[in-house]
């Protein structure tokens, strides 16, 4: 069964460092998303991506964040200069059209 | 920020009992309402996507209803089993984006 894969499963970084979270969406999906969940809080939307460009982004997704789909397969989230408050579980998701999201298993990011 | 509210935040159910809980969402710019189940240490898994007012969907012992005019959806679990223990998330879709509620965490006691 096709699935969304995310790497790494855990990432520990120092404040101010750049991190890249990687995702491989399901191959025939067209819409791609990043969400995050800070411990004890609700799942928060970061960004949606369609047709090789950002279709919508939240207030959280400031200039420190960027997304790329460099090769038609991977979908990456880059945080340029991490802050303590970026510590969260980051989920990648994809979907074909307007149906259900398929989530990856997440990357737990810890910023020290 | 779209206000998607779920209540209660958590509930405990005795095995074999039935239960239900609510998701409320904006009634304007509605496209779809999603339900996901999120088990500990796993990623959210899709249960239902509903688009039409009055929609009812069923998957085994779990079912959901949708009222888009008043902006709410109910999720029902009939004859709860320990494997139903999870956090149930609803998400409101207005176009590209899904906005999630905080979830209802269900614990089924044997």
Tens-place pLDDT, residues B53-86: 999 999 999 999 999 999 999 999 999 999 999 9
Half-sphere exposure of B91 (CA within 13 A, CB side): 29
Whether the CB-CB separation of A11 and A18 falls below 8 Å is answered with no
Query: Quick check: B103 and A105 CB within 8 A?
Result: no
> Any residues with CB less than 8 A from the CB of A27 and at least 6 apart, and which?
A2, A73
User: How far is A51 from A85, CA to CA, in rounded Å?
Assistant: 30
Predicted pLDDT at B91: 93
Question: Which residue from A minimizes the CA distance to B43?
Answer: A105
pLDDT, one tens digit per residue, over A50-86 is: 989 999 899 999 999 999 998 888 999 999 999 999 9
Predicted pLDDT at A40: 85
- Grade residue B29 by pLDDT with cuts at 50, 70 and 90: confident
Does the structure show a pLDDT above 60 at B1?
no
**CA–CA distance from B46 to each of A10, A94, A101, B43 (Å)?**
24, 12, 7, 10
**Which pairing describes strands A10-13 and A107-111: parallel, antiparallel, or unpaired?**
parallel
Query: Quick check: A48 and B97 CB within 8 A?
Result: yes
Token pair in block for residue A98: 């307007």
Whether the CB-CB separation of B101 and B43 falls below 8 Å is answered with no
Q: Which residue has the tokens 């994809």?
A: A94
Q: Does B93 touch chain A (CB under 8 A)?
A: yes
Whether the CB-CB separation of B55 and B40 falls below 8 Å is answered with no
User: How far is A69 from B88, CA to CA, in rounded Å?
Assistant: 30
Q: Does B71 touch chain A (CB under 8 A)?
A: no
For the segment A41-45, the average pLDDT, to the nearest whole number, is: 86
Does the structure show a pLDDT above 70 at A1?
yes
What is the widest separation between alpha-carbon atoms in chain B?
A: 42
Query: Quick check: B99 and A45 CB within 8 A?
Result: yes
Query: Quick check: B100 and A105 CB within 8 A?
Result: no
User: C-alpha angle with apex B50: B107 to A2, nearest 5 degrees?
Assistant: 75
Distance of residue B42 Cα from the nearest chain A Cα, in angstroms: 6
Measured torsion, CA atoms of residues B24, B27, B29, B34, in degrees rounded to the nearest 10: 30
What mean pLDDT value characterizes chain A? 93
User: How far is A111 from A85, CA to CA, in rounded Å?
Assistant: 8
C-alpha closest to that of A105 among A24, A19, A14: A24
The alpha carbon dihedral of A9, A58, A53, A13 has a sign of negative
Predicted pLDDT at A86: 97
Q: Does B32 touch chain A (CB under 8 A)?
A: yes
């Amino acid at each position: 069964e096709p699935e969304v894969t995310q790497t790494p499963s855990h990432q520990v970084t120092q404040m101010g460092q750049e991190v890249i979270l990687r995702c491989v969406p399901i191959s025939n999906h067209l819409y791609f998303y990043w969400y995050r969940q800070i411990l004890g809080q609700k799942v928060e939307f970061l960004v949606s991506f369609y047709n090789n460009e950002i279709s919508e982004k939240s207030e959280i997704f400031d200039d420190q964040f960027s997304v790329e789909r460099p090769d038609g397969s991977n979908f990456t989230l880059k945080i340029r200069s991490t802050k303590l408050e970026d510590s969260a579980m980051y989920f990648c998701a994809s979907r074909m059209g307007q149906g259900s999201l398929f989530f990856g298993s997440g990357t737990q990011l810890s910023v020290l | 920020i779209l206000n998607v509210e779920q209540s209660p935040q958590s509930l405990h159910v005795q095995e074999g009992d039935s239960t239900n809980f609510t998701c409320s969402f904006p009634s304007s710019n509605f496209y779809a309402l999603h339900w996901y189940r999120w088990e500990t240490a796993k990623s959210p898994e899709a249960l239902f996507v509903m688009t039409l007012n009055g929609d009812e969907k069923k998957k085994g012992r779990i079912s959901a209803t949708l009222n888009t005019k008043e902006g709410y959806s109910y999720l029902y679990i009939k004859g709860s089993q320990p494997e139903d223990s999870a956090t149930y998330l609803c998400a409101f879709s207005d176009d590209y984006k899904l906005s999630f509620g905080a979830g209802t965490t269900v614990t089924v006691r044997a």
